Structure 1
Amino acid sequence: MAEITPAELPDNRTAATTPQVQRGVRFWGVFASLCVLAFISALDVSIIATSLPKITADIGGGSQFVWIANCFVISSTVLQPLFGQIADIFGRRYPLALSIIVFALGSGIGGGSHNVGMLIAGCTIQGVGAGGIYVLIDIGFPKLEAL
């Protein structure tokens, strides 16, 4: 039996054997868009947490502050496996577009809320969209190599 040296293994490539891939404008545009989506989704969690005292002072609901802060995180976490399965069935583009629309709708409801129940509903809807964004960005990035 012949012994295989590390140089013969396919994972042991050098700079000379690795092909250089030229990425076009489309690749960098999609990559920048995904980065902005990830940033906006992550930023929303921290905005609610830091502005919660002012929000509860303006619209009331000091006793429900736990739900205001956590409904976004819970709803985004619970639906991530579902978005992964939807992406397997329909591809990644349309579920990501739907997630962005749901996130924007929840942002509008939460931003225009005049009571605590409406704010919790808006944050929950926004969390559903953010959960789709989180998982579809991670699933979709390997597909970006084909652009």
Structure 2
Amino acid sequence: MNKILRAQVAIILFTAAYIAEVVRGGLQAIPKGQYEAADSLGLNYVQTMRLIILPQALKIVIPPSVSILISAFKDTSLVVIIALYDLLKTTKSVLSNPKWMGSSAEAYIFLAVVYFICCFFMSNYSRRLERELDTGL
């Protein structure tokens, strides 16, 4: 199997397991009265989940989901284990070139800034999404 495909499958399965657990927790946070209200309206299971339960549950799980996605973004550096180059490994290989020997501090600072900017924007988007979906309950 191709190394990139192996890395993608591993990261996707690992992240999907965490996201599934977070969504399960969100579904358990919905009060039983919501299910009973849907039954009293005559909604079937699919309608109940689509119209009542999932919108509430997914709103609850926004913060932990974004946390997991940020963690998965940072964990992409683990692909070095199977001999794939990521941003950090590429920086290390560039710094081994004699022309770049004295620039290691600048390279690592730049790399830290790139990771910070990506994580910062994901976090800000999460906060904005939470504010937009806030119902005041």
* Smaller-chain TM-score bracket: 0.3 to 0.5
The TM-score with structure 2 as length reference comes to 0.36
The TM-score with structure 1 as length reference comes to 0.34
Higher helix share: 2
